[in-house]
Amino acid sequence: MSARDDEPLALHLSARDDDPVEPLPGDRLEPGLSSKPERPARKEPLVDVVDDPLQLGWEKPAPNWGKRLLWGFLTLLAAGLLAFQYVWFHFDEMARQDQYRPIFQQICPIVGCQVPTRVDISRIKSSNLVVRSHPDFKGALIVDAIIYNRAPFAQPFPLLELRFADLNGQLIASRRFKPSEYLSGELAGRGDMPSQTPIHIALDILDPGPKAVNYSLSFRSPE
């Protein structure tokens, strides 16, 4: 056999490792073997590769004016309700204060409320208190005193409280008098005590006894 005769056989038997081998019909592939060709590994390294920057687009949302106005209105409404409740429960106290009274005097005729009379019992004083035996009735006393309203405004006449005590300060007798009981003459039936005006009062009472050597006059609110 010559060399020429061997060449076709050599060509048939030569094969490259990279060429895929197709299975014959009826052949079974062994596990771990794939019929697909493997991708050749990249031999050249990736150099000078620069990723494009990621562009994030953001726009400021348009303000929701309707919701803002609604929340603002609800906030003002809640604050107004709280203020109304406070004024409602402290009306008499606030209406007697100098800084708020003019406001209530303008509002009350409109809404139908009545401004309470100002009362400051601490500004009512007494002087010239004298207790003596009644000249016409035995076992009775006459109490004379001068009372003043030192407040810069008129206020209701107070209740008078007369107290008797012994030498040790032990209370023996006491009594309260309404304005109708101690006012007489032109002041009888008058409701307000004028400011800075001395008023003389005279009271007829029963004698509490010889031990009642100390006495005092105080004032109580008529309300």
Q: How far is CA 2 from CA 5, 6, 7, 8, in A?
A: 5, 7, 9, 12
Residue in the block written with tokens 């949302």: 61
Return the amino acid letter for 86: Y
Classify domain 121-220 by CATH number: 2.60.40
Residue in the block written with tokens 């003043």: 148
Q: How far is CA 106 from CA 99, 154, 155, 179, in A?
A: 13, 19, 20, 30
Q: Which stretch of DSSP H or E encloses residue 130?
A: strand 124-133
Domain boundaries, the chain: 84-116, 121-220
* pLDDT band of 100, cuts 50, 70, 90: confident
User: pTM for this one?
Assistant: 0.56
All residues at 6 or more sequence positions from 158 whose CB lies less than 8 Å from its CB, including other chains:
121, 124, 179, 193, 219, 220, 221, 222
Q: Among positive and negative, which fits the CA dihedral 32, 33, 38, 42?
A: positive
Residue pLDDT, tens place only, 113-168: 888 888 889 999 999 999 999 999 999 999 999 999 999 889 999 999 999 999 99
End-to-end CA distance of the chain: 148
For residue 79, the model assigns a pLDDT of 92
Backbone φ, ψ for residue 218 (5° rounding)? -130, 175
What does the alpha-carbon distance between residue 115 and residue 113 come to, in Å, rounded to a whole number? 7
| Tokens encoding 74 | 């609800």
